[in-house]
Amino acid sequence: MSGRYTRVGRARPSGGGSELAIWYLMRVTGLALFVLALTHFLILHVLYDPAQQDASWIATVRWSSIFWRVFDWSLLMLVLFHAFMGVRTVVIDYTGGRARRFLLAALYLLALGLLVAGTSVVLTLPVVPK
């Protein structure tokens, strides 16, 4: 526990290494997500209605341009890091010993699976021009 820093967020780890790197990366990815995730939500839940976003809408409208594929893939990378490192902090806070090791291993495996699944669909969904 560091006295100098607020406990609203996680206290900045003293020393250095990967824990400090993760602490900074949570803030950097958080700032990027403030822009990208809120933009994504604004477009797909406010400007468009999810009810119209069936599979053919995604192929012909949303992902018909490289720009939005790159945008959504960047969002995927940022959110996977931020969300899984965040849940990692929660797991570390409430568990210990074998339960913690098991949950963290399951968490990293799930993150890897989603990274592969998300990347593959961004790359392989056929481009259908409008």
Partner 1 sequence: MLLRYRGREGMFAWLFHRIAGVAVWAFVVLHVVDIYLVGGNPKVYNELLQIYASPAGRIMEALLGAALLYHALNGLRIIVMDFWPPLTRWHRQLWNLCWLLFAVVGLPVAYIILKPIWEGIQP
Residue written as tokens 């210990």?
A: 96
Please, what is the end-to-end C-alpha distance for the chain in angstroms? 55
Show contacts with partner 1 in window 7-66 (CB under 8 A).
Answer: 7-9, 12, 27, 30-31, 33-34, 37-38, 41, 45-46, 49-56, 58-59
Of 112, 113, 92, the C-alpha closest to 104 is 92
Q: Between vectors from CA 75 to CA 71 and to CA 80, what angle results, nearest 5°? A: 155
With CB under 8 A, what is the number of residues at the site for partner 1? 43
Identity of the residue numbered 95: T
Q: In the complex with partner 1, which residue's Cβ is closer, 34 or 108?
A: 34
Q: Between vectors from CA 120 to CA 118 and to CA 124, what angle results, nearest 5°? A: 125
Show contacts with partner 1 in window 76-95 (CB under 8 A).
Answer: 76, 79-80, 83-84, 86-87, 90
Residues 6+ apart with CB under 8 A from 41: none
**Residue 130 near partner 1 by CB under 8 A:** no
Q: In the complex with partner 1, which residue's Cβ is closer, 18 or 52?
A: 52
Binding residues for partner 1 (CB under 8 A):
4-9, 12, 27, 30-31, 33-34, 37-38, 41, 45-46, 49-56, 58-59, 76, 79-80, 83-84, 86-87, 90, 110, 114, 117-118, 120-121, 124-125
